Amino acid sequence: MRSICVYCGSRDGARPAFAQAAEALGRGIAARGWRLVYGAGDVGLMGRVARAVQESGGETFGVIPSHLLQLEVGKRDLTRFVVTETMHERKKVMLMNADAVIVLPGGAGTLDEFFEALTWRQLGLHDKPIIVLNVDGYWDRLSALMRAVVSDGFADPSLLDFVRTAPDAGAALDLLA
């Protein structure tokens, strides 16, 4: 079974397309017989992905630090529910229990998770695919920033090869098939 780590917002965001993409991704993960690895919240896009996986008969592996159990409404009915002490430990457990990463829209926490996974890949600590699900062009500015980091000499052009972009959930999952 493949395990897909999904980084995404603990809010739904302003566009209905974000919630639709999260639910489609969850259904797609379950349809392929893969397991969701995520932040164990039951709010925002996180909750939508997890519920879609569960409603489609899929397995879920959630990881949440103890200080976020209330804020992110820890979803305790998962296949596996892990509580960590710190955010750093959460990110490590999530990435180490996944075969690939898909990034949905989100805020600072999602960016933190994405950049840590990208940095670890750049440093050779893992070779897992990282896919940005660019719903309605949400991550266009991130792609521009990454190109600027390379063009301004702060990273080797190979950095751009570590991240692939997909327009929708189906395309993102097809990149991993």
This model's pTM is above 0.85: yes
Pick the closest to residue 75 from 35, 39, 45 (CA basis): 39
**Any idea where the domains of the chain sit in the sequence?**
3-176
Q: Is the pLDDT of residue 27 over 80?
A: yes
3-state SS class at 49: helix
The pLDDT score that the predictor gives to residue 98 is 98
Whole-number percent of the chain with pLDDT over 90: 94
Determine how β-strand 100-103 pairs with β-strand 3-7: parallel
3-state SS class at 90: helix
The pLDDT score that the predictor gives to residue 120 is 96
The stretch 154-172 carries a mean pLDDT of 97
Q: Partners of 37 in the beta sheet? A: 5, 61
Q: Which CATH architecture has domain 3-176?
A: 3-Layer(aba) Sandwich (3.40)
Determine how β-strand 130-133 pairs with β-strand 163-166: parallel
**Residue-wise pLDDT tens digits, 45-102:** 999 999 999 999 999 999 999 998 777 778 889 999 999 999 999 999 999 999 999 9
